Structure 1
Amino acid sequence: MSDTRLNNVIRAFENGKTAFAAFSKLDKQTAIEMSDAPYDGLIFEMEHNPYDVTAFGDALQYMLNRKEIATSGSLAPKVTPIARIPANGVEMNQTFAKQVLDRGAYGVIWPHVATVEQAYNAVASCRYARPKNAPLYEPKGARGDGPANAARYWGLSMAEYYEKADVWPLAPQGEILVGLMCESVQAIENLDDILSNVPGIGLILIGEGDLSQELGFPRQYEHPEVLDAMRKIVETCHKHNVVVGNPHVTAKNHRRLISEGYRFLMSAPQRTYGVVGMARELAGY
């Protein structure tokens, strides 16, 4: 079992497919309900909702389904849990990433990342330290060592966890997805430099809400200026072969998003399964 890919979002990306996800409230009942949802991943929202790492740990446990584990032959949850943390790029706060990873998260979404330095910190915060002569040394790991809970949640020994607890795609065997939110004009201007100079970024997620605010068209996601800004993000990500995602997938825009090359689609609200079904059918699976 330890050789099986544990992160379903990464599995979709490696297979050239689109990954589907949703934001989720941080409570046990939602975790239970979402444990068999038709998503590859579930992002627990702790940027705009309260940050409660104890509740997060409980939610992860409620996502485990013993029957599903026995049937699938994989120790991983059917829906991969990821956390959006409150710390943004400017704050450089590594503690939030460390705490959710130590509880067993398979990825971290970092809001408001706009510079190379901020992007470097985000990736480094999700990696353990290693000797300078070790392969894949950069970005230099800054995650503190406390793997016991995460290893148990992943169903691995500590040695196995250390092997897999690195960032993908920098480390091919890595199971941790680092997603950076691009949600400002500054971020768009610096995105090419970010993707050129910071390895280990698995996903760029467009923050349409904040971006549209800064452009002067709050939540007008179909406004030409907002669409043009998003197009620039998509083009830059495609240039660097980095997955780009959209957090506001609806019945009206899912065809356009897939045709434009988005490969991480988040439906809102969290239980709009019909939209996911339509998008999967359109994508051919």
Structure 2
Amino acid sequence: MEINKRSLLTGAMMGAGMAAVASTTSSAAAAAGAAAAPPAGPPKASGRTMLDSPNYFGTAGKGGGFRSNWARTLPQAPSVDLNYKPRRINKAIELWEDNQVVYYHVYMPSGAPDGYEEGRRMARTYCDAINYEMENGCMDFANLRNFMQGLVDGGPTPSGHRTPMVFVTLPATGFDGPSMRANAWQIQQAMASGAHGVLVCEMHSPEAGEIAIAAARYKFTLPGVTEMPVEGMRGAGSQAFASHIWGMPGNKYLEVADTWPLNPKGEVAMGFKLENRHGAEAAEQLMAIKGLAFAEPGPADNSWSIMGWDAIRDMPAADRAVLPAKLRLEDTLERIRMAAKRNNIQWLGTARGMTHNQSIDAGMRMLPGDNEKVVMDARAYTKRKMPA
């Protein structure tokens, strides 16, 4: 093929120009890369989130967010021992062993990346326990880990415990064995985040109950502890972050990360919510499962399950009170409570129409702590020695 002089010169000029552009581009990219190199140290979050929204959802409890008055402002109860030394990691179990009441807050993560700062603030709570609510709140185990680290960094508690007791509610439900086994990973993730227990919702299958307890336990059985029908599910490696949160070496964590009271030295408190009519029908079997520490009936959910739309629709309170389904609801709640009492299961919640002190006299040992003065007065009533 014949190539004329003009074409040859044109091609040479284009090639040189492209080489120059490539060289310039490469130099600019290198300079930009050097300028954009990440700074030394841990990464910092950037960008806007829902926390920047003027319409940020909720301020507390099951609405999401933090309530500023969760921090203690009142003096300790007169009976408090200011030289108190904790015996356990799990503050709730220690109180139960002393026949004292555990007061708790419900904290629901909104979905904003606020876990660490929320944990630091809630470390100052006047309550003993925190229900980290992921059944209806945002299920985010990374944020839970941030929250637990915040509790550690904001602590210790006035009682000397590293953190308040934290129990997590999850969307895993106890409908039956297969569904519980398929979702046992949620319990394992909560425990690996350093939580002290899990409250399993919608529990109404004894098979599911045994699987849920196994999901919070290790594959091995410690000496002197009864062998359970379902082998534990937690495996090697799950102790790494959790032991850091509990402030102990991994091998020491493995010695105490077991369910109480099945293991008297265990620091894990597992709970069930029997919050529908099916759970009530199996209450006696569920409350007898070894390794269960506390339970609640879920009065609102049970009312929806038993009373249906009559529990919600507008009607005079006096009319609702005499509905046959309303009477069945009261019988159901009492059946669950009595099953728990017979098996020495700690009861979460107050009895309807009762004051805190009356609930304490009725044997309830896990009460909501929304009102600081009521909580502090009740602690004086029980002559509590552990500081809050």
Which residue in the other structure is 2:218 paired with? 128
Q: Deviations over 1:52-107 (max 9, x none)?
A: 000000011111246637x7655x21x11221111111231111111111110011
Q: Is the 8 A contact 1:22 1:43 kept in 2?
A: yes
2:182 matched to 1:83?
A: no
1:256–1:73 distance in 2 versus 1, CA, 3 Å: closer
Q: Is the 8 A contact 2:283 2:335 kept in 1?
A: no
User: CA shift at 1:225, angstroms?
Assistant: 4.2
Distance 2:286 2:125 in 1: 34
Which residue in the other structure is 1:169 paired with? 261
Match of 1:55 among 131, 136, 143: 143
2:324 matched to 1:227?
A: no
Match of 2:191 among 92, 97, 101: 101
Distance 1:8 1:14 in 2: 10
2:227 matched to 1:160?
A: no
Q: Is the 8 A contact 1:130 1:137 kept in 2?
A: no
2:364 matched to 1:273?
A: no
Q: Which amino acid aligns with 1:43?
A: N
Distance 2:221 2:299 in 1: 39
Q: Is the 8 A contact 1:81 1:107 kept in 2?
A: yes
Q: Is the 8 A contact 1:251 1:275 kept in 2?
A: no
Distance 1:122 1:215 in 2: 25
Distance 2:231 2:368 in 1: 31
Q: Secondary structure at the match of 2:311?
A: coil
Distance 1:255 1:66 in 2: 31
User: CA shift at 1:39, angstroms?
Assistant: 1.2
2:282 matched to 1:194?
A: no
Which residue in the other structure is 2:346 paired with? 243
Q: Is the 8 A contact 1:7 1:175 kept in 2?
A: yes
Q: Secondary structure at the match of 2:303?
A: helix
Distance 1:6 1:41 in 2: 12
Which residue in the other structure is 2:100 paired with? 17
1:8–1:275 distance in 2 versus 1, CA, 3 Å: same
Distance 1:4 1:12 in 2: 10
User: CA shift at 1:255, angstroms?
Assistant: 3.9
Which residue in the other structure is 2:299 paired with? 208
Distance 1:44 1:33 in 2: 14
Identity of aligned residues (%): 24
Which residue in the other structure is 2:133 paired with? 45
Which residue in the other structure is 1:218 paired with? 311
Distance 1:273 1:64 in 2: 22
Q: Deviations over 1:18-69 (max 9, x none)?
A: 1111211234343233212121110100000110000000011111246637
Give the aligned length: 275
1:251–1:277 distance in 2 versus 1, CA, 3 Å: farther
Q: Which structure 1 residue ranges, 5 or more long, are not aligned?
A: none
Which residue in the other structure is 2:270 paired with? 178
Q: Deviations over 1:196-244 (max 9, x none)?
A: 3x21000112211210111215378986543332221111111111111
Q: Is the 8 A contact 2:108 2:138 kept in 1?
A: no
User: CA shift at 1:250, angstroms?
Assistant: 9.1
Distance 1:189 1:282 in 2: 36
Distance 1:257 1:73 in 2: 27
Alignment RMSD:
2.7
More strand by share: 1
1:67–1:54 distance in 2 versus 1, CA, 3 Å: closer
Q: Is the 8 A contact 2:225 2:262 kept in 1?
A: no
Distance 1:153 1:41 in 2: 16
TM-score, length-normalised on structure 2? 0.65
TM-score, length-normalised on structure 1? 0.86
1:251–1:80 distance in 2 versus 1, CA, 3 Å: farther
Distance 1:57 1:132 in 2: 27
Q: Which amino acid aligns with 2:208?
A: Q
Q: Which amino acid aligns with 1:257?
A: S
Structure 1 stretch displaced more, 110-119 or 222-231: 222-231
Q: Is the 8 A contact 2:123 2:154 kept in 1?
A: no
Q: Which amino acid aligns with 2:235?
A: G
Which residue in the other structure is 1:258 paired with? 360
Q: Which structure 2 residue ranges, 5 or more long, are not aligned?
A: 1-85
Which residue in the other structure is 2:234 paired with? 143
Which residue in the other structure is 2:205 paired with? 115
